[in-house]
Every structure is written in C-alpha cells, then in structure tokens.
Amino acid sequence: MAKGQCLKCKQQREMQNPQAITMKNGKPAVTGTCPVCGTKMFKIGKAE
C-alpha cells in the first residue's frame, strides 16, 4: 500500500483505495483516502 500525508489529520498514513494518476505536467502521483477520517490523500511519485 502507498503511504501519504493526510490533509486533515496532518500525519503519514497508509492510503485506502490508492489510485495511480498523472498530473497536468505529466508527472506520476498517487491519490487515495485516509482510513481514519476519510479525507483525500495525495503523494507525488510512482505507486510502490
């Protein structure tokens, strides 16, 4: 699973339902949801 920074909890957590995306500038990123609060999580870079 991918780890990311929760924007609400302000802590590193394992993402729930991680999805690999490509940003507008062409760089890879991973987006998902926080398992604790359900807020959006985001990490720049390839999925592990």
- The pTM (predicted TM-score) of the whole model is 0.77
Residue 48 has pLDDT above 70, yes or no: no
CA 45, 22, 4: angle at the middle one, nearest 5? 40
pLDDT interval class at 14 (50, 70, 90): very high
What gap in Å lies between CA 16 and CA 6, rounded to an integer?
11
> What are the angstrom distances between the C-alpha of 19 and each of 2, 5?
9, 15
Helix (H, G, I), strand (E, B) or coil at 42: strand
